[in-house]
Structure 1
């Protein structure tokens, strides 16, 4: 048995897998970020620790102890810990927008572009650099009291094993030299954060390390001491591994809270437009080129709440409209932090157009879902897709929405093995590090394929072209001086 733990933004899960890749059981607990108002969103680290304890105990209750434990989860955000791995203050979520003005300053003065030219990673508001800068001004006492500016899964690893390390996939953005896999002092200097270098955990060498479950970890999980535990890679890379992205050019679309579109690459491109992430994979010479857009199921949640519907109504509502949404079009940029892929604009805002008195609830849902599908194509093509493309995430559970994505791409869409693609990837990474043999093909066999419909090709090709034109027009409006001054960020709602 191999145990995979996935520390999501709103859910903590543990999944037990047999040696041949079959998922034996899953346990989960909600762990929602707390909105404090004014764009501030934080999470309680001890709540996550408790949730990990509960899900591991539940999923292991009727099984033999696992041979290895792999941990993945949300990256970014700022988890300030003391020397024992306990929180110094509530963690600042990656959804928090207090880093926005710092990022905007770096964009305006050229620092943002200069950092990308060194490590092919575009800083976004919820990553370590802007949040550390914000706390340096707003809560310097917390930084002074901290031993580690951690990532969530690394904090859990420390509580289970005592190890203070991080994975190169997490550290890739924003401070890492992603070829040498070590921190770049010049990037820290550019960002004015050299004095906080002491807070950064050592980066594990490729392909990573396993650490033994210690007495405290055994107490938390109910498992015997000595089990090898591996934390890394973080969820974007873990999902690629769990879905079966193994060839250069293959891609994955994760329709989750974030619409994460990613492609495996074998070179680092620092000269392209400064956007997206280039994340170290466990093996040297391979990276995931990721375009994690802030649109995704959160955008669907917004429109469902607007029309008084739930996720259980999605298939019915989509069936009541038709491709093209009876003229309704949308820009899905409803995040308070703007957009980070395949372009960066902290002022990006959502838009609904083409409404009239005949517009239905179903048309609104269809229009928004289509806009997310267009965003997926925009992102996956920008990431460099040349091979096959897989899909996973909560949104992929909608057959109609998945079909829509295949139609917009006009490519076959392979369904990643379910359930728990991220935890599956964490388990694979743990087996690799622990030296456990397994059948890689069996672990990543697609569950099926969705073929694109030819009859929708022309409509969606035209719709995608219109989407791109609308994005470019809106970007000009978002950044007009009068719009900035008056706070009128969207010309149409």
Structure 2
């Protein structure tokens, strides 16, 4: 039995898999996303570690046997400052945080952000570790002085579970890793004014950090000490791996809090407008080109809450409003930190257009669902999608919205069949890291494939051009 853990932004989930890759049980526990000030989003590292401990312990009790592996993945980006023992020196600053927006604007104006993208293939955004670290260095230097590691989420759990201080190449990719050598790029640190903080970056271990469960943690979990524990890749590439997206040109769409569109590439091109992330993925010379838009299902959540409705009615609303939402359109940039893919604009904001007294709730829901699908196509176009698309995430529970994605993308989408695809990807990576790789094709399950409707695809092709025009006009306004 293998346990995969995915420590997300608001939920920690753990899934138990048998020796054929079948899901035995999934347990989850909510964690708090703190909002101490407008635009600030933080998490308690101790609470996240406790949530991982709890879900693993519950799985062990439910299954009745200890795991042969605990494989960790989790949210990326942000900064999780910890001391030498992995204890927090301040609350973690989330990837959703906007406090470093002024630092980012300064770097954009000075050309620092552009030069870093040309070097690493990664854009900066307010919740990216580079501007967050610079903000901390300017505003809370005493915190960094007593910090041993500016860590990532899963790596905090790894250190507390095993004592290993390390990160994997995927998390380290953003923002300081040289994509070819997989070592930190000193010139990028220097450009960001962070050379004196280089010691805060954890060692990079390929393919991912490995360790043994400490006795005191094993006692809390009710299992023997020494069980192998691995950390990585983080949730985006872990989901791609779990969804079976490994061939260059193929894509993975994650319809979650973040709308993540990612494509496997084997050639790195950092020309053109800086956009998206370039994450180490598997062997050297292969990457994930990720376009994680700041808001996915969170935009729909906000609309439903505002109109006083629940997610169970989404299919009903999509049936009640025709394609095009009776002339109502939406730009889905609801994050207070703006947007990071397929363009970077800290001032990006959401809006509805075409509203009249005859607009109803169904039109509002359809318009935001169409807008998020358009955003996915925008991201995939920028990432270089050429092949098939595997889709996963909470948003695909709506069959009508899933069909809408296929229609807007104009290509079939296959639904990843396993629950907790990120945790599954972490298990696959973890087994390979400890020298027990499995043939993922033997663990594969039957998939559902949703074909696009050609009539609606033609309609949405025109709608997408209108969307792109609206975005470009809006960007001029955001910049001013």
**If the TM-score is normalised by the length of the shorter chain, which range does it land in?**
over 0.9
- Which residue of 2 is the match for residue 385 of structure 1? 385
CA contact (8 A) 2:251 2:388 kept: yes
Q: In structure 2, what is the equivalent of residue 292 of structure 1?
A: 292
The aligned runs of 1:96-115 (5 Å cut-off) are 96-115=97-116
Q: Residues 437 and 180 (structure 1 numbering): CA distance in 2 closer, same or farther, change over 3 Å? A: closer
What RMSD over aligned residues (CA atoms) do the two structures have, in Å? 1.1
SS in 1 for 2:36: strand
1:450-473 CA-to-partner distances (Å, cap 9, x unmatched) read 000122122111111100010001
- Per-residue Cα deviation, 1:65-106 (whole angstroms, up to 9, x for no partner): 111111000011111101111111111111110110111111
SS in 2 for 1:181: coil
Which residue is 2:202 aligned to? 201
Residue 282 (structure 1) aligns with: 282
For residues 148-227 of structure 1, the aligned pairs below 5 Å read 148-205=149-206, 207-227=207-227
How many residues are paired up? 479
Pair 1:432 & 2:432 matched: yes
Shift of 1:150: 0.5
Q: Deviations over 1:29-71 (max 9, x none)?
A: 0012111122111111111111111100111112321111110
Q: Compute the displacement of 1:270 (Å).
A: 2.1
**In structure 2, the residue corresponding to 1:34 is in which secondary structure?**
coil
Residues 278, 289 of structure 1: 8 Å contact kept:
yes
Instruction: Tell me, in whole angstroms, the C-alpha distance in 1 between the residues paired with 2:128 and 2:353.
Output: 32
2:329 is the counterpart of 1:329: yes
Q: CA deviation at 1:437?
A: 4.1
1:137 match: 138
Alignment partner, residue 54 of structure 2: 54
Partner of 2:36: 36
Distance apart, 1:446 and its partner CA: 5.3
Partner of 2:254: 254
Post-superposition offset of 1:313 = 1.8
Structure 1 segments, 4+ long, off by >3 Å, are 442-446
1:149 is paired with a residue whose SS is: strand
CA distance, structure 1, for counterparts of residue 444 and residue 379 of structure 2: 23
Indicate conservation of the 8 Å contact 2:251/2:261, yes or no. Answer: yes
Gaps spanning 5+ residues in structure 1: where? 481-493
Would the aligned equivalents of 1:414 and 1:446 in 2 still touch at CA under 8 Å?
no
Q: Give the match for residue 366 of structure 1.
A: 366
Q: Distance in 1 between matches of 2:119 and 2:165?
A: 26
Q: Secondary structure at the match of 1:174?
A: helix
Q: Alignment partner of 2:260: what SS? A: strand
Confirm or deny: 8 A CA contact 1:242 1:443 kept in the other structure: no
Distance in structure 2 (CA, Å) of the matches to 1:93 and 1:438 = 34
Decide whether the 8 Å contact of 1:338 with 1:347 is kept in 2.
yes
What per-residue deviation string (whole Å, max 9, x for no partner) do you get for residues 176-227 of structure 1?
Answer: 111101101100000000110011100003x234211111331332221111
What is the CA–CA distance in structure 1 between the aligned matches of 2:121 and 2:444, rounded to whole Å? 28
Which secondary structure state, in structure 2, belongs to the residue aligned with residue 19 of structure 1?
coil
Q: Which residue matches 2:121?
A: 120
8 A Cα contact 2:60 2:221, kept in partner: no
Tell me the distance in 1 between the aligned counterparts of 2:455 and 2:209. Answer: 50
Distance 1:209 1:99 in 2: 29
**Partner residue of 1:464?**
464
Aligned to 2:5, the other structure's residue is in SS state strand
2:27 is paired with a residue whose SS is strand
CA contact (8 A) 2:71 2:231 kept: yes
Q: Which moved more, 1:17-26 or 1:56-65?
A: 56-65
Shift, 1:246, TM fit: 1.4
2:71 equivalent in structure 1: 70
- SS at 1:475 equivalent: helix
Are the aligned partners of 2:155 and 2:165 in contact in 1 as well (CA < 8 Å)?
Answer: yes
Structure 2: gaps (5+ residues): none
Query: Matched residues in 1 for 2:463 and 2:128: separation?
Result: 33
Q: CA deviation at 1:397?
A: 1.1
Question: In structure 2, how many angstroms separate the alpha carbons of the residues matched to 1:462 and 1:131?
Answer: 39
Q: What is the alpha-carbon distance in structure 1 between the residues aligned to residue 271 and residue 50 of structure 2?
A: 44
Rounded Cα–Cα distance in structure 1 between residues aligned with 2:442 and 2:256: 24
Cα gap change, 1:220/1:151 in structure 2, threshold over 3 Å: closer, same or farther? farther
Tell me the TM-score normalised to structure 1 length. Answer: 0.95
Return 265-274 or 348-357, whichever deviates more: 265-274
- Hey, what's the Cα distance between the residues in 2 that align with 1:478 and 1:131? 22
